[in-house]
Structure 1
Amino acid sequence: MIEMPPLQFAKLNGIRMGYYDAGPMSDAPPVVLCHGWPEMAFSWRHQIKALAAAGIRVIAPDQRGYGATSRPDAVEDYSIEHLTGDLVALLDHLKIDKAIFVGHDWGGFIVWQMPLRHRDRVAGVVGVNTPHTDRAPVDPLQIYKKRFGETMYIVQFQDPAHEPDRIFGENVDKAFDFFMRKPMPRKHANVGEAPVGGIGASSKTNLAFPQMVAAYDPGKDPRQKILSDEEKKIFVDAFKESGFTGGINWYRNMSANWARAEGLDHTVRVPSLMIMAENDAVLPPSSADGMENIIPDLEKYLVKDSGHWTQQEKPDEVSQVLIDWRRRRFG
């Protein structure tokens, strides 16, 4: 039986957002959990339960374009300003002054942006797998193209005809079978084991995810599943309803986000924690090297024997790290 708090809704920042809110309302600062792609607040089910049981208030939204939250049509409505603005508006709705923002995958990129853009609303930041970096010297899409070629999924996601969206939408069940597995041990790793995130991967890694999902045969995949059948059904049903375009539109703003970030001070001036996963092929622990240079108050923690879906692969360990750090730094 999967336990989740009741889903609540708020009208904010031009959308209707679905979110979960658990733990004592009096606890401050609360922890806001931000998911990545292709996920939703349900990805944090283990942490919601554990943090609430530890007496910590925890809030987990389905972010713009996902799950129970609105999916605007315009690509521009998924800019970094909108995505960080949604989190500020959620705090306003809940009458919360400051929060600790925890983000995995794309959610990690969003939470590292929060203290750069909304410093007065951020008590602390935790990145799960996703490092914080200074602004790239050139458009990130040019880096992806040069390093991985035109078939790399983020490059493909720029397709105005939405072909990747269609492929995933026609193969939802296969997509979650493909993505939500533990990586093979390193000596056996090959195509199909790379997860979804930033630019830490080797240029040999096959990142043509739409085509890989279309051709995928779950029966021939030796990797261990992360999700139970019941858990997978929740993801599959949600994405059959929502489609993938909302989440992919986050990627379609990467060049515009990069252009508008010129001149933005990328130093993070709040207590921060970087949780790294030993076997994440796209966001390896080495991608977090040098974060200390732009985050003066940074701790790091390595989760061993975990691939990309760290909070679901190693839920108890991730939950305990969050609880310990939160208590140590914020009482």
Structure 2
Amino acid sequence: MSALETMMPAVKRAAVNGVEIAYYEAGPREGVPIVFSHGFPELAFSWRHQIQALADAGRWVIAPDQRGYGLSSKPDRVEDYGIDKLTGDLAGLLDHVGAETAVFCGHDWGGFVVWQMPFMHPERVAGVIGLNTPFSPRAPADPIAIMRKRFGPDMYIVWFQTPDEPEAVLGADTTRTLSFFMRKPMDPAAAAAAMTAAAASGSTFAFRDLLKAWDGTSGGEPLLPPDELAVFADAFREGGFFGPVSWYRNFTRNWEMTEGQATRIDGVPCLMITAERDAVLPPSAAEPMPGFIGDLETHMVAGSGHWTQQEKPAEVNRLILDWLERRFPK
């Protein structure tokens, strides 16, 4: 049996918001459910440690493969991956399971999605947990233009705006690609140097050039044992990268769509968990959050890089369960 079969509940499927969402559910169907939203390049499987721990603690847990990923639908239009669609999928999933509200917990790109839930579906939000990804209000200008100016043309999000090439590069060898991404953190100084070393343009976070130059072993210790890495590699080999990359291709469209959006989250309990050694989303990125969120609690996971729920699952589980017990007691 694969690690997916042995470490996750049986997959379920829901027709919501014009797509089919594959999801995993555990724990008693009572109280406020916790909905886990994964990032890039990930799957619901990224939350396997949290699903088990929270279910064992008597919590209702739901973790989807989001649209474009894993066993869920993969629409073929870029605009089908806008923030309105992504948040609508989570709201539709609540309708499917018969829940009025949920605590939404997101990591990486999933963090962007859950921080938008209080604005786009406020009636469905009991609380929000951000893992690594901070809340920030709408950018003052097109975020792609800002990133291009600040980080250079080869910065991965800017590069992802290019049609076809990112999917081809990332999908050429999915085991290599996922091995490159899913590694434990390097020494901070070494990580900063590595982010620019392979980019002739001097761009920061130039993952295309870094991946091409990677020797297969450098850049931190492997995060996952082979059987768990295979779950991710197999999923992207089967499903490709068009959907996941298209989330990024909606940055400008999302920015245009949210013109006039409020800049504060009030009346919603929020938990922010940062990771000390995340080179992409460092703890400093969360420092402005108290100015925008009325009910916020913040903690940092020491020694963790970007894949926090997989790197330091016991600490992440402890922080989430402690906060849930205080804010949403059973």
**Corresponding position of 1:6:** 10
1:32–1:189 CA distance, 2 compared to 1 (3 A): same
**CA contact 1:23–1:53 (8 Å) conserved in 2:** yes
1:285–1:222 CA distance, 2 compared to 1 (3 A): closer
Q: Distance in 2 between matches of 1:300 and 1:16?
A: 34
- Ranges of 4+ aligned residues in structure 1 off by more than 3 Å: 190-194, 203-206
Which of 109, 112, 119 is residue 109 of structure 1 equivalent to?
Answer: 112
SS of residue paired to 2:273: strand
Which of 65, 81, 90 is residue 87 of structure 1 equivalent to?
Answer: 90
**Corresponding position of 1:200:** none
**Corresponding position of 1:16:** 20
TM-score (normalizing by structure 1): 0.94
Which of 77, 80, 94 is residue 80 of structure 2 equivalent to?
Answer: 77
State yes or no: 1:276 paired with 2:278: no
Residues 194-205 of structure 1 aligned to structure 2 (within 5 Å): none
1:250–1:180 CA distance, 2 compared to 1 (3 A): same
Q: Distance in 2 between matches of 1:215 and 1:319?
A: 36
State yes or no: 1:133 paired with 2:136: yes
The CA RMSD measured in Å over matched residues stands at 1.5
Please state how far the C-alpha of 1:293 moved relative to its aligned partner: 1.2
Q: Identical aligned pairs, as a percentage? A: 53
1:164–1:158 CA distance, 2 compared to 1 (3 A): same
**CA contact 1:129–1:275 (8 Å) conserved in 2:** yes
Please state how far the C-alpha of 1:109 moved relative to its aligned partner: 0.4
**Corresponding position of 1:163:** 165
Please state how far the C-alpha of 1:268 moved relative to its aligned partner: 1.4
State yes or no: 1:146 paired with 2:149: yes
Q: Distance in 2 between matches of 1:189 and 1:109?
A: 24
**CA contact 1:37–1:106 (8 Å) conserved in 2:** yes
State yes or no: 1:57 paired with 2:60: yes
Q: Distance in 1 between matches of 2:35 and 2:322?
A: 16
**CA contact 2:105–2:130 (8 Å) conserved in 1:** yes
Please state how far the C-alpha of 1:159 moved relative to its aligned partner: 0.8
SS of residue paired to 1:151: coil
Q: Distance in 2 between matches of 1:109 and 1:11?
A: 23
**Corresponding position of 1:172:** 174
**CA contact 2:188–2:279 (8 Å) conserved in 1:** no
**CA contact 1:191–1:205 (8 Å) conserved in 2:** no
Q: Distance in 1 between matches of 2:63 and 2:54?
A: 12
Which of 18, 33, 38 is residue 35 of structure 1 equivalent to?
Answer: 38
1:60–1:192 CA distance, 2 compared to 1 (3 A): farther
Please state how far the C-alpha of 1:188 moved relative to its aligned partner: 3.3
Q: Distance in 1 between matches of 2:187 and 2:202?
A: 17
TM-score (normalizing by structure 2): 0.94
Unaligned ranges ≥5, structure 2: none
Please state how far the C-alpha of 1:148 moved relative to its aligned partner: 1.0
Unaligned ranges ≥5, structure 1: 195-202
- Deviating more after overlay: 265-274 vs 88-97: 265-274
**Corresponding position of 2:254:** 257
Please state how far the C-alpha of 1:294 moved relative to its aligned partner: 1.2
SS of residue paired to 1:29: coil
1:208–1:41 CA distance, 2 compared to 1 (3 A): same
**CA contact 1:311–1:318 (8 Å) conserved in 2:** yes
